[in-house]
A and B are shown apart, each in its own frame.
Chain A
């Protein structure tokens, strides 16, 4: 049986640059970057742009039940549903599939720090940990942290109620979310799906994990390709959501596509071997079916090493590509890395243009003609790689 064509019919974006497609298109055109090296100095982060969540999360009670990452995600999911023209359409929403890529939510840093300080000063006998946690953790905080509760909130606020699956595992989780959604729609197991992720970079607690491995960018912001001697990723903030559906389903309801999502492939390179990432990307590339050697490639390259150097090696073998690194503009949005790339690819295809390069090193080159094929690339800072081909609908 022939695989069904998958269209991207809705795109929702909220990031450090602002909200909505027009705002993003304008900001990208102006090469705007919203980086902050003071808030969590010496760490560089990209905080979410000021936003009133009321527009997509009307009930304050719902907002109170969420932490920022969930608000960002629920908001961006609402934008995507709006953009697909299915917001409030009960008939469609009740059978819409959802695949979310998620990490965990914000911890209560004050509680954590108080406990850790007490312990460091010898004032925390083991029994006291329970008491502090019992007395000081907010009961609802758990729900704001649980990975699958971003999906839960989207179901509650927007009524997306077909199926709900949450994938975890940093960058790779979002590649797999897109891969499984496309596979299901392609095989007729699903007609329409909401796929996306949210990330809040303004979190000291989150930096812990990445500090262990010295992955976080410190001291000074620089575009991703200019970090060779000062590697690291600046944690970014974004909610990126896509509505994907079969061409038949979209046409039957008169929906217009932003682009076609032709293929998503993923891999788990054995990174203990140097060069494994480059090799993995080389192996995946022919599976995409890129026919245009002047295609565009939007990468989520993090700036962390050695992954970025290995990716650069791969890109060096495709000199005709017009490359754009989302990390320069948005920082590293972790689970949102791949849907952000897909969103920007769909946006560029639909606007018939690629936004300007933002790269002092010259790796990114300008492209003046309308892009028809855009490869989205995601390489995890530690594990997992994947690619997608986004094309203009014929």
Chain B
């Protein structure tokens, strides 16, 4: 029997349950089938009018509906669906009684336009200002909007539904949020505070204002036709990321606790690392130093050598800058070994699920380990010669995969990486 502690004497953290929703579908089975078949979940948006928008496609999850619609309610629903799947697989605790804390990656929340306008229509004054508007907000008629749009609302509702313990943490580290949620869970188990954590990441942000905001930062692809061709990580003609929705949920447990209850081990979170980039609010340092440091810290945390990584699940957003920087950072750390590492970006198919991406991609990494099959990077027709990765282009590839590095590099200098392995070392 393997020791339940890692080489640094810390409890080994394993995954015993996973749940996922993306634009490709609900659940691991459907997602994996479509992902490895190279299908795209990106479509022309039908949720709202597209007039005046430069970008008209997204990986919206339209097969899940919430009424009344808000991105916050959709985020919560996606998180619930993913969590239910993860808990069922894990078999941990009892219904409504999860024996550990919740770490939730969620997009920042505010009152959304449909609700703002609903109130505006009830303001009695013509040409009203904020004080008149606030008078209509108060009085209790819209109290449900307070319950919906506090920053803590999604975590509160999830904590109540699933009976997680203690104070649930909602977090945002931009595109790295999902990885940060996992990292917080790993740290809590390593500290011995708990035997299990529920790490959830969700994003239901495809709404007009969010699309406009990213569009104004020139971050989004505008290659609208065909929509499924827009996200093309590592291609020379890539022009931005594609917004997408989804959720991922993972049950993390100490190896010891998981073994004690006879749980099936789906994989190991062998290492996590994080290093902040202070170069710019939206751009990465041109020398890639922070990303390099992040990858190195992650290897060190796992106690692994670069040569032990045999697949990279890339951040691969399909923005001109990210993909270039990611190659730069990777090749700096992995050197000659870089060319031996098959690299793929799930975002070519599911789009960029932003706050959820780190968890969604960790789950895809674990499925890659389970099936020994690497999902493709689709739309890889014109390889960028400046990025000589071994990209798993267009078709899934069977490969021996023992350790996957999953990267997340986001706005605000947020860099986080995870190393996932099949078996406890």
Contact = CB atoms under 8 A, between A and B. Distances in A.
A127 B49 contact: yes
Contacts of A131: 51-52
Contacts of B188: 183
A130 B217 contact: no
A40 B131 contact: yes
Nearest to A270: B160
Interface residues of B, number: 83
Contact of B213 (A102, A127, A142, A383): A142
Contacts of A216: 138
Contacts of B193: 183
A146 B121 CA distance: 28
A384 B111 contact: no
Nearest to B213: A142
Contacts of A40: 130-131
Contacts of B387: none
Contacts of A212: 137-138, 142-146, 149
A49 interface: no
Interface stretch (A77-85, A147-155, A293-301, A317-325): A147-155
B382 interface: no
Contacts of A124: 117
B55 to A, nearest CB: 11
Given A133-B209, A189-B191, A214-B138, A155 B413 contact: yes
Contact of B52 (A134, A151, A211): A134
Interface string B106-135: 101111010011011101001111110110
B68 interface: no
B117 A268 contact: no
Interface string A107-134: 1010011011101110010111111011
Interface string A188-226: 010000000000000011011111111110000000000
Contacts of A371: none
A63 interface: no
Interface stretch (B36-44, B164-172, B312-320, B391-399): B164-172
Interface string B259-280: 0000000000000001111111
A60 to B, nearest CB: 15
B155 A166 contact: no
Contacts of A162: 274-276
B52 A146 contact: no
A113 B52 contact: no
A315 B356 CA distance: 41
Contact of B411 (A152, A172, A183, A382): A152
A41 B121 contact: no
Interface stretch (A21-29, A174-182, A342-350): A174-182
Contacts of B209: 133
A121 B117 CA distance: 11
Contacts of A134: 52-54, 212, 215-216
B276 A161 contact: yes
Interface in B39-83: 48-54
B412 interface: yes
B173 A166 contact: yes
A116 B117 contact: yes
A216 B274 CA distance: 39
B414 A148 contact: yes
A179 B156 CA distance: 18
A383 B152 contact: yes
A172 B167 contact: yes
Interface in B81-120: 106, 108-111, 113, 116-117, 119-120
B166 A156 contact: no
B278 A155 contact: yes
B212 A176 contact: no
Nearest to B148: A212
A204 B167 contact: no
Interface string A1-43: 0000000000000000000000000000000000000001111
B216 A211 contact: no
B146 A165 contact: no
B174 interface: yes
A165 B150 contact: no
A227 B52 CA distance: 49
B134 A211 contact: yes
Given A130-B52, A212-B143, A268-B168, A143 B282 contact: yes
A159 interface: yes
A223 B187 CA distance: 41
A126 to B, nearest CB: 5
A149 B108 CA distance: 11
Contacts of B172: 102, 146-148, 166, 168
Contacts of B167: 172, 175-176, 179, 266-268, 384, 386
B254 interface: no
Contacts of B169: 167, 169, 173, 176, 180
28 contacts: A42-B131, A43-B134, A115-B117, A116-B133, A120-B117, A129-B49, A129-B113, A129-B208, A133-B212, A134-B54, A148-B172, A152-B281, A152-B414, A160-B276, A161-B290, A164-B414, A166-B172, A168-B171, A168-B172, A169-B151, A169-B155, A169-B170, A189-B187, A208-B134, A212-B149, A268-B159, A382-B152, A383-B156
Interface of A: 40-43, 65, 98, 102-104, 107, 109, 112-113, 115-117, 119-121, 124, 126-131, 133-135, 137-139, 141-143, 145-149, 151-153, 155-156, 159-170, 172-173, 175-176, 179-180, 183-184, 187, 189, 204-205, 207-216, 266-268, 270, 380, 382-384, 386
